[in-house]
Amino acid sequence: MELKKLILPASLLVLLIILMVLFFGSQGKEKTPDVSSADLLEEERSGEEELDTKKIVLFFISEDDYLLHKEEREILNGSILENQIERLVKELISGSEEGLLSPFPPETKVRGIYITRDGIVYIDFSPEFQTAHPSGSSAEISSIFSIVNSIAYNFKSIKRVFILVNGTEQETLAGHIDLRRPFLPRYDLISD
């Protein structure tokens, strides 16, 4: 009689264990697509309608006076401001078409762009922006304000620019200018 009393609870326990293994075991084996956040961002961007272009003004450095000089370009226009700013920065990275100096080492990449409600854009650059950057305070000032002025000049809703490298705040870019705060544009650095 005691054996019969033990068989029923033991059977229920075994059944419960089997159900738990099936339930929890199937969750770990569920196929999820191998999609990185970069793929998702690219997918989002490709859905943006890009039929027209927009004229922008970029600011590049001159060897003659180390001031910023204007250079016009056209980029694809779209409804997502972060994408437009990324296109502008990529044009800066690609360099001048008029023989001016680029503010970026050519291997620099844009990792991400984020905009706050109060008009601060955070631009996250690859580590090459810092590791391959030429030394000197004038090179650092020119690089920073080439970016800041180009963005603020073309996108009036942007009030300040915060520069990140490899996803983190940096003390400086090349040892001179404090990067731990967002920058206002400095139009006094632009050549007339």
In a domain? residue 33? no
In a domain? residue 29? no
Instruction: Of 85, 72, 80, 77, give the one whose Cα is nearest residue 124.
Output: 85
Give 74-105 pLDDT, tens digit per residue: 999 888 999 999 999 999 999 999 999 888 88
In a domain? residue 32? no
What pLDDT, on the 0 to 100 scale, is given for residue 38? 44
- What region does 30 belong to: left with phi over 0, alpha with psi -120 to 50, or beta? beta
Quick check: 23 pLDDT over 50?
Answer: yes
In a domain? residue 3? no
In a domain? residue 108? yes
- Provide the H-helix boundaries in the chain: 2-28, 37-46, 81-94, 128-131, 137-154
Residue tagged 């997918």 (tokens)? 43
In a domain? residue 19? no
Domain that holds residue 72: 38-189
What pLDDT, on the 0 to 100 scale, is given for residue 16? 59
The strands making up 160-165's β-sheet, listed across from edge to edge, are 110-115, 120-125, 160-165
Query: Model's pTM, two decimal places?
Result: 0.71
Report yes or no: 101 and 62 within 8 Å, Cβ to Cβ.
yes
Instruction: Of 123, 105, 108, 112, give the one whose Cα is nearest residue 160.
Output: 123
For residue 81, what are its two tokens?
């401001």
Q: Mean pLDDT, the chain, as a whole number?
A: 79
Q: How many domains does the chain have?
A: 1
Neighbours of 184 (CB within 10 A): 13
Sign of CA dihedral 153, 155, 157, 161: negative
- Return phi, psi of residue 75, to 5°: -125, 160
Q: How confident is the model at residue 12 (pLDDT cuts 50, 70, 90)?
A: low
In a domain? residue 18? no
In a domain? residue 31? no
Quick check: 18 pLDDT over 70?
Answer: no
